[in-house]
Structure 1
Amino acid sequence: MMIARSLLLFGLAAVAEIGGAWLIWQGWRENRGLWWIAAGVIALGAYGFVATLQPDPHFGRILAAYGGIFVAGSLLWGVVLDGFRPDRWDLIGAGLCLIGVAVIMYAPRDAA
């Protein structure tokens, strides 16, 4: 159950952070206006709070593991919303990042 909760929180964090950055990008680079930028800033703030809900108490571990989620999620976001087509190297890199997430977050550890 802890792994499922952690993965759900990583997913929510990715939507908030990647979505927030995308909204700012759209507002600024695509001239959609200040409301898009403001929504992006709010979403990025929400991301910061979602990360604190992770069951593991170690900030560095959470953020390091989340980096892999961010990489894979960013590529997926680009595919779904921007028509981006990743090449095999993008996919291999994202896969390696997700393996890193699994090792960092879910490898068995000594209780000490």
Structure 2
Amino acid sequence: MTILRSVALFALAAVAEIGGAWLVWQGIREHRGLLWVGAGVVALGLYGLVATLQPDANFGRILAAYGGVFVAGSLLWGMVVDGFRPDRFDVTGALVCLVGVAVIMYAPRSA
């Protein structure tokens, strides 16, 4: 159950951070206005909150692992929201990152 909770928190954090960054991008680069930027800032703050809910207490480990989730999630976001089509190298890189996440977060450790 702990791994499922952790994976769900990583997914929620990815939506908050990637979505927040996308909203800021839309507000500034696509000239949609400060309301979009403000919503993005709020979402980015929520990302920071969600990251603290991970069961592991090591900040560096959580953020390092989240980096891999961010890579894969960003490609997925681009596909769903912006019509981006990743090539085989994008997909391979994302899979390597997710394997890294699994090793960092879920490898058995001695107490």
- TM-score, normalising length from structure 2? 0.99
- Superposed CA deviations along residues 63-96 of structure 1, whole A, max 9, x for unmatched, are 0000000000000000000000000000000000
Where in structure 2 are the equivalents of 1:26-37 lying within 5 Å?
A: 26-37=26-37
Q: Secondary structure at the match of 1:101?
A: helix
Partner of 2:104: 104
Q: What is the identity percentage for the equivalent residue pairs of Structure 1 and Structure 2?
A: 77
Q: Secondary structure at the match of 1:85?
A: coil
| Structure 1 Cα separation of the partners of residues 12 and 49 of structure 2 | 10
Partner of 1:66: 66
Instruction: For residue 61 of structure 1, report the CA deviation from its aligned partner.
Output: 0.3
Gaps of 5+ in 2: none
Partner of 1:5: 5
| Structure 2 Cα separation of the partners of residues 92 and 12 of structure 1 | 23
Instruction: For residue 4 of structure 1, report the CA deviation from its aligned partner.
Output: 0.2
* Number of residue pairs matched by the alignment: 111
Gaps of 5+ in 1: none
- TM-score, normalising length from structure 1? 0.99
